[in-house]
Amino acid sequence: MYRTHTCGELRVGNLHQTVCLSGWVQRVRRLGAMTFVDIRDRYGMTQLVAGEQSPGEVKQAIDRLGREHVIQARGTVVERANKNPKIATGEIEIMVEELRVLSASEVPPFTIEEQTDGGDEIRMKYRYLDLRRAVVRENLELRHRMARAVRNYLSDLSFIEVETPVLIKSTPEGARDFIVPSRMNPGQFYALPQSPQTFKQLLMVSGFDRYFQIVKCFRDEDLRADRQPEFTQIDCEMSFVEQEDVLEVFEGMTRHLFREIRGVETGAFPRLTWDEAMSRYGCDKPDLRFGMEITDLTGIARGKGFAAFDEAGYVGAIRVPGCAGYTRKQLDELTDFVKQPRVGAKGLVHVRCHDDGSLRSPVDKFYPGEDLKGWAVACEAMPGDLLLLLAGEREKTLPRLCELRLEMGNRLGVRDKNVFRPLWVTDFPLLEWDEETRRFYAMHHPFTSPKPEDIDKMTSDPGSARANAYDLVINGVEIGGGSIRIHDAALQSKMFDCLGFTREEAEAQFGFLLGAFKYGAPPHGGIAFGFDRLVSLFAGLDSIRDVIAFPKNNSGRDVMIDSPSVVSAAQLDELRINVNPQETRE
């Protein structure tokens, strides 16, 4: 028997028992004649001790121990003289009577402890060692608990988990596909799914009624901190539902997770239409942990001779509480912030609302007397507040105000990781105009149904048609998104027309779905959650990489297995792929 207990299990209740533990050596400390060894496994750490009176073989074996050796130790549980309240087993130690090295270890490339000396790169290369660290392992344990809670919750509501294929067909659904050559069909390719969207809709046609799947999806996009080329979704679909039914089930699931996993009650989720979210927060994923909403000052700020505002289509402000005393330097920093290319504003105007009720602004010569007061009233400013104004084209200025608002939220420390403010954003536009290709794209995906009252707009004014589409946003992060689908072949064709697909193109890409709709498609809708993001939010982390066992780096590489990599010429020949060797890189 390798072990009677785990390394996280023994307490004073076990005193005097003979036990056997197996695990990794985290640390060896020698103090005079005494040697202390921390032995670690998934469950925790226990201190082993050997001294003067220990058997000779034990003393010899302990002398040869190095970090990360795998050992087995048999001994008696004794009370520690120096208790360590920081670890669960800190009141006891094991007086070793027998010690066996099960597997030796070379000196590890970085210290495998809570505080490590290993940089990002080296820890990724040796990810299997990094995963031995409790802080990293705990993220995966959290992920597992959340996946299990999701499975149980949905299963109890009669959802069934169905696996959909991974080798599918390339379709233009938003992002770029990863493609896989087919050896048996030379010159033809599979695509990896960006989501199981069409399959889950086909399952509804098959009558499955309530489907879910915790599923890998693949998108060949440029990577950012919160993106991975492969990621996991909680993908769901329901039949005979309207938007309200879907929101109810998945708000229930999300609240259940908060309660079970984090022990927090979020209450009912507020809802904002997309229009409201844009005008009040400047974006479709507002962070509701703090106020500082945007006020539209266009009507009162223009026409007073201040050219920057007069020439702008829109002037908007945020009210920053208690910052009237910002120094010149702090204001210059904010100006630099809004002027950086990522944000893109030309300048920033501020108004200080002093405690004596007076208002001061560098532009006050254009706005004498009651004019500035009008802004303060519109923004509901209090003495001590600072107003920050941006101006320009409305579509561009709102997102800039959003960035500025988030920056001020950070500066004021009001974006607490332990506070959760979920909301639904509804009524998204159906279509999005792309200036470059000069055509409309589906904002969500081409199967999203328009609001029934907006169907006519699909032809008369496509840009203003709204969709039965919704997002779940938590703390400024888009956690989930979905829609009620089109279940009528004629409406689906109309949608393809709007997107500029010819009948032939639509048939070639989605003929299978249009075909299925001819045989009785129930009204249906669904949602998909970004599972990695949800877990990292629950873990209080900024990047999804930390909740993925074997993530890829920012260039989409797995530096541990060294992938992607070149393959042999023979393999390529078999696939009938010609690659110029000059173009392949190690």
**62 touching ligand ASP, by CB under 6 A:** no
Judged by beta carbon, residue 222 or residue 586, the one nearer ligand ASP is: 222
The first and second tokens of residue 521, run together, are: 């498609």
Considering only 22, 47, 164, 195, the residue that binds ligand ASP (CB under 6 A) is: 195
Task: With CB under 6 A as the rule, give the number of residues binding ligand ASP.
Answer: 8
The first and second tokens of residue 14, run together, are: 């076990």
**481 touching ligand ASP, by CB under 6 A:** yes
Judged by beta carbon, residue 133 or residue 444, the one nearer ligand ASP is: 444
Instruction: Give, in degrees to the nearest 5, the angle at Cα 107 between 103 and 108.
Output: 95
Phi, psi angles (nearest 5°) of residue 39: -110, 135
CB of 489 vs ligand ASP, minimal distance in Å: 19
**509 touching ligand ASP, by CB under 6 A:** no
**CB–CB of 283/277 below 8 Å?**
yes
3-state helix/strand/coil string of 529-547: EEHHHHHHHHHCCCCHHHH
The first and second tokens of residue 122, run together, are: 């080296």
Judged by beta carbon, residue 46 or residue 195, the one nearer ligand ASP is: 195
Q: How far apart, in whole angstroms, are the C-alpha atoms of residue 122 and residue 130? A: 9
Considering only 47, 483, 492, 536, the residue that binds ligand ASP (CB under 6 A) is: 483
Q: How far apart, in whole angstroms, are the C-alpha atoms of residue 473 and residue 544? A: 16
Which of the stretches 43-51, 125-133, 150-158, 479-487 binds ligand ASP when contact is defined by CB under 6 A? 479-487
Considering only 351, 527, 535, 547, the residue that binds ligand ASP (CB under 6 A) is: 527
Considering only 246, 315, 431, 528, the residue that binds ligand ASP (CB under 6 A) is: 528
Task: Look at residue 92 and give its three-state secondary structure.
Answer: strand
CB of 422 vs ligand ASP, minimal distance in Å: 18
CB of 228 vs ligand ASP, minimal distance in Å: 14
What are the helix (H) ranges across 33-181?
56-63, 120-125, 127-130, 134-156
Considering only 282, 422, 526, 551, the residue that binds ligand ASP (CB under 6 A) is: 526
CB of 483 vs ligand ASP, minimal distance in Å: 5
Considering only 35, 197, 213, 295, the residue that binds ligand ASP (CB under 6 A) is: 197
Which of the stretches 129-137, 495-503, 513-521, 525-533 binds ligand ASP when contact is defined by CB under 6 A? 525-533
Considering only 44, 422, 462, 482, the residue that binds ligand ASP (CB under 6 A) is: 482
Judged by beta carbon, residue 318 or residue 442, the one nearer ligand ASP is: 442
- DSSP at 464: G
Task: Look at residue 95 and give its three-state secondary structure.
Answer: strand
Residue found by looking up tokens 């239409």 in the block: 273
The alpha carbon dihedral of 144, 425, 284, 264 has a sign of negative
Residue found by looking up tokens 């040796």 in the block: 126
Judged by beta carbon, residue 195 or residue 266, the one nearer ligand ASP is: 195
The helix, strand and coil proportions of the chain, stated in percent and rounded to the nearest 5, come to: 30, 25, 45
Binding interface with ligand ASP (CB under 6 A): 195, 197, 481-483, 526-528
